[in-house]
Amino acid sequence: MPELPEVEFCRRSLIRWSAGRRVVGVDVPDPRSVRVNRGDRPSVGHPDGAAELRKVVTSAPPAEILRHGKRLLWRFGDGALLLHLGMTGKWAHAPNRYVKVRLDLDDATALYFCDPRLLGGVVPTRWEEGQALLREGLGPDAWNDPLPALRGARPVKIALMDQSLVAGLGNVQVMEALWRAHIHPTTPCDALTDAQRARLPSAVREQLAATLALFDGAEEIVYVEEDRSSNPFPIYRREGQPCPACGTPIARMIQGGRSTYWCPGCQPAPG
Ligand SMILES: [Zn+2]
């Protein structure tokens, strides 16, 4: 499932593929992927989605792409596309059987939005409005902005996955960052020690940078859930395997409905 590094990879890929090009055609094989509002359900596709999309992307050359958390805003002159990948969406330079939107470029290549579960989408908008939509409801960006103070009785893992507190982190990035910071995932925010608070921001940064580095030179990204044979993460889905840092078997628990992996050696329970 795409988190900040996967979305940032998507941003860099779209810039690389579209640099110096123009969009000359649009096809929307599945109108449900073009939405009026970001939060619309897949069953509520944009009634004029293909026409609105075409208007935006053919009006001006593709320009900068902003990212905040897991959202992207792609500028085309005064227009823009708000992009979100949801659980399974990705932009690709080659088609697969899940193509929902296709943008034809003037060099006879195309960009494909592929999304098996239809939880991502494309929202045609204006550049000015889009900049507000990009950040609407989200906390500071986990990569570009300082990490906000963590307060309250909530477990630190749950807090860090709250997009309104800090945007871009999901299940995998948070559990790996907590392992790097030697913080047990159930630690209440208020119980974090000064040393843990001091370690956390650099642990989050190192974790995001390490994941981004995995995609260096890749043409397309394979999400870790898509290919269960390959898992580049030190503790994610490694229950019972030795911790790469201390050798203690990695443990697993369910937290907030999701699997959390942690190392009982590196991350002692709070209290
Ligand atoms: Zn360990």
- Tell me the pLDDT tens digit for each residue of 9-67: 999 999 999 999 999 999 999 999 999 887 777 777 888 889 999 999 999 999 999 99
The mean per-residue pLDDT over the stretch 241-260 comes to 96
Residue 140 lies in a domain: no
**CA 74 distance to own-chain centroid:** 15
Query: Number of H helices and number of E strands within the chain?
Result: 6, 10
| Inter-residue contact 168 to 142 (CB < 8 Å) | yes
Task: Give me the chain's average pLDDT, please.
Answer: 95
Residue 148 lies in a domain: no
Whether residue 149 is contained in a domain is answered as: no
Q: Annotated active-site positions, please? A: 2-3, 70, 258
| d(CA 175, ligand 1 centre) in Å | 13
Q: What percent of the chain has pLDDT over 90?
A: 86
Three-class DSSP category at 209: helix
What is the CA(185)–ligand 1 centre distance, in A? 14
Which pLDDT value is given to residue 221?
Answer: 82
Same domain, 42 and 120: yes
- Domain span at residue 196 reads 156-262
Say whether both 126 and 167 belong to one domain.
no
In a domain, 238, yes or no: yes
Is pTM, for the whole model, over 0.75? yes
Q: How far is ligand 1, taken at its centre, from the CA of residue 139, in Å?
A: 31
Q: In terms of domains, do 203 and 128 share one? A: no
pLDDT in tens, 76-114: 999 999 999 999 999 999 999 999 999 999 999 999 999
| Residue 24 placed within a domain | yes
What's the number of domains the chain is made of? Answer: 2
Q: With 90 as the cut, is the pLDDT of residue 220 above it? A: no
Residue 146 lies in a domain: no
* Residues 67 and 36 placed together within one structural domain of the fold: yes
CA distance 269 to 263: 10
Q: Which two tokens stand for residue 140?
A: 């500071």
Tokens at 241, concatenated: 């395997």
User: 189 CA to middle of ligand 1, Å?
Assistant: 21
Residue 228 has pLDDT above 90, yes or no: no
Say which DSSP state 220 is in. S
Which residue, of 84, 102, 135, is where some domain finishes? Answer: 135
Q: 161 falls in which pLDDT band (50, 70, 90)?
A: very high
Quick one: 167 and 258 in the same domain?
yes
Q: Answer whether residue 188 shows pLDDT above 90.
A: yes
CATH number at residue 11: 3.20.190.10
